[in-house]
Structure 1
Amino acid sequence: MASAEIANLSGLQKAAILLISLGPEKSSAVFKHLKEEEIEDLTLEIANTRSISPQIKEAVINDFYEICLAQQYIAEGGIGYAKELLENALGADKAYEVIGKLTASLQVKPFEFVRKTDATQLLSFIQDEHPQTIALILSYLSSTQAATIISALPPESQADVAKRIATMDRTSPDVIKEVERVLESKLANLVNQEYASIGGVDQVVEILNSTDRGTEKHIMEILEIEDPELADEIRKKMFVF
């Protein structure tokens, strides 16, 4: 059940859950090896993460371990060598799944930027598009995002879009790029104003309290610009912890 649930999580969401699971001390050590924009994205995602079940935490940690194992095997002897060792360790089906994740992560997926957009907000931008365009976009979203959007479409459009997704075969890369370009342009000024629950803020406070002063200062400066209220809430809690 947990494995099915994490399949709908983005890489950023999984990374946030992993860092929460590791705790503030180990998470702050990880931050030291990341780029500034990665730290910013992860900090906001952690702050926006609500309660996580032990099963989800365990599934994310196992997922991370399996991918690390695959990366190690690939570095030692290539894809074929990694596949053989993973089959022995995890079984053929799991080995195929892990290798697939790893090779897919080396490529930028179409509409990756849309995965960070709230489904309700995205709906307002695409609901008047041609059903084939909507079907194309939904086919690249997580099942949770796609379900939210297709449920909110007019009843007469829902089956049409679902049918187009089901019967979609191959789409020209040029068409995909053009739809991406238009949609990204529409979303360029969209600001997501949904922020964290109190629990998420507490987790960020713990991590920031464990980071070096420079990292903490940089993150707080960015938060002051992007969300002054959240920054103020974090700062108040930092004096309490």
Structure 2
Amino acid sequence: MPRLTVKERLSNLRKAAIFMISIGPEAAAQIYKHLSEQDIEKLSGEIARLENVAASELSNVNDEFHNMILAQQYISAGGLNYAQDILVTALGEKKAMEIIKRVQMTLEVKGFSVLEDVDVTQLLAFLQKEHPQTIALVLSQLTPIQAANVLAELSPNIQIDVMHRIARMERVTPETLNAVEKVLESHIDFTQATSKFGGVKPAAEILNMVGQRFEKNILSGISKEDAELAGEIKNLMFVFEDMIKLDDRSIQKVLKEVDNKELAMALKACSNELKDKILRNMSKRASEMIQEEIEYMGPVRLREVETVQQHVVDIIRRLEEEGEIYVSAGSEEDTLV
């Protein structure tokens, strides 16, 4: 998919907002039902920011929407070339190519969303017969919890191989996507551009959900081949804000290892919920001192705060490895009782 500039993205968001207003609240509400929460939030914000919309701008937006709908209908009826011929005849070459380009962008591959509703048992039966690269490609496009459930059922060696491949995956060629498409026997419409798949963050999200029982073995296996990569994954698996998941006893043990000045700086950039939970696990006097430290600290660079927060995370990971605290992995069944 061609990458949009910031200007183009903002322009498209404004167009969407104008169109939603023009069709009225009832029709707009029906469209909202098909959007993600993130898209709804962005679109609603843009609608709220709209003030004076010129009649010409409103007309242009509605014309563009109408033309794109026609183009999609022409493509469905006779393919891209058929649609292009009709639009060139009706609107001229320049305008037609602009519309065709936009429609092509809306037809890009959306990952393997068609697999989101597939039963994990069926998906596992399919993937167990495939090459680790194919498994990695598919898992990188599932939700972390779904991917974790599949990963947990694979053999230890395959788990390590697959996670290593996911973490190292960046761009996937059209040929590879086409090969996977055939294997999946699906009708996914892949574009001719390389697509972003996998990476360290998706690998960390999956391991976060798979649970400690598998996590340590997989990370250990990856570390033998690429210690730096294993470290990158591990750093993303538990971030400072995740301290909210720790029980009070674990937080108290962590706080014993953290200098008060460092803690105050770490709390400069976190949610109020986490800050309140940490302060509740301190004595009244210590809590007051930390709050005073934060108040009198003044502005600090975000990267300095993040460095201190990472130091706290390192302490948490060390205490976890030593068995001093328990870090919930989200989907792990072996919870404390």
TM norm structure 2:
0.28
Greater relative contact order structure (CA < 8 Å, 6+ sep) = 1
Bigger CA radius of gyration: 2
